[in-house]
Amino acid sequence: MFSRFLAVPFVLVAIGCLYLIWEGQLEALYLVPWVIILAVIFVSSPHIDWWWAKRNPRPMDPKLDAFLHKFFPYYGKMSIPAKKLFSHRVNLCIMATEFIPKAMEEVPEDIKGLIVANLVMLTLGKKEYRFKKYEKIVVYPHPFPSPQYKEFHASETYAEDGVILCSLEQLIPGATQHKQYYNIALHEFIKIYLETYPVSLPEINEMIKQQLETISGFKMDAVKNFIGLPTLDTQIVAINYFFTFPNSFKAKLPELHEHYKNIFNQDPSKADYPIIDDRQLGSI
């Protein structure tokens, strides 16, 4: 991190002072300013590193880049400028998010990237692309109960603590095999998006529900059972399919597609999403 490089010259000066103090050539008082500077850098390191990372976009980790190309179609068909924006935001969101493993030692880096990629996809058309109230993600290996829901379930959002909880058993196939499984990571981020940016949404009537089942191949009850909670918000499901099955969604529900396109400031059915000018990369 940049703060470590920033600290190097002050560490060297402090070591030099210690040597001179040891040799009796310098009073200990001269060491105090350098220690204070190093303490300030240490305490401020998260802010320093964030400031530097925002202004110095770096490429996505090659392994994560290859992983998303293989399993995340939205990313794979972007142009180079759009990928730069996407990669920059993924890097920043991983940096800003606290991943909390449960019943496992750590959350693998590719899983962090996969989760965050869904957030970045959802908010790519906005200048403010993070949900700052929800930057803790608890990851379980399997479905879990919680204080909110006694049933074993795959995902939830807990507003009081600003935390998202999810099960890898459902998350991984849902995010990488969208034709066979429902994407619970995107589901939870959509829930937070609608909470953060309240908008007027069209009613999801029975005809639209039937079309959504045709588009995805999933019955609504199957999606509800996959998540494991007693209720299912079909508006969230519809938005999920707007991103997950963009071409079919546009063909079968053109009016709803247009409505969502205006809300999210992007059209996932197109081959590219250069939403924000590439020149702004250093300032977001």
- Position 271 scores a pLDDT of 61
- CB contact at 8 A, 241 and 215: yes
CA 133, CA 148: separation in Å to the nearest integer? 19
Mean pLDDT, the chain, whole residue set: 86
In this prediction, residue 278 carries a pLDDT of 43
Three-state SS at 74: helix
State pLDDT tens for residues 132-181: 899 999 999 999 999 889 999 999 999 889 999 999 999 999 999 989 99
CB 31 within 8 A of CB 19: no
How would you list the strands of the sheet with 98-101, edge to edge? 98-101, 136-140, 163-167, 155-158
Query: In Å, how far are 129, 158, 192, 199, 236 from 133, measured between CA atoms?
Result: 12, 11, 9, 19, 20
Report how far residue 184's alpha carbon sits from residue 166's, in angstroms, rounded to the nearest whole number. 8
> What mean pLDDT is predicted for residues 213-222?
96
Task: Assign 3 a pLDDT band (cuts: 50, 70, 90).
Answer: low
The DSSP secondary-structure symbol of 98 reads: E
Res. 275: pLDDT tops 60: no
Report residue 7's pLDDT band, with 50, 70 and 90 as the boundaries. Answer: low
Nearest to 82 by CA among 97, 60, 104, 56: 60
Q: What is the pLDDT of residues 221-264, one digit of tens each?
A: 999 999 999 999 999 999 999 999 999 999 999 999 999 999 99
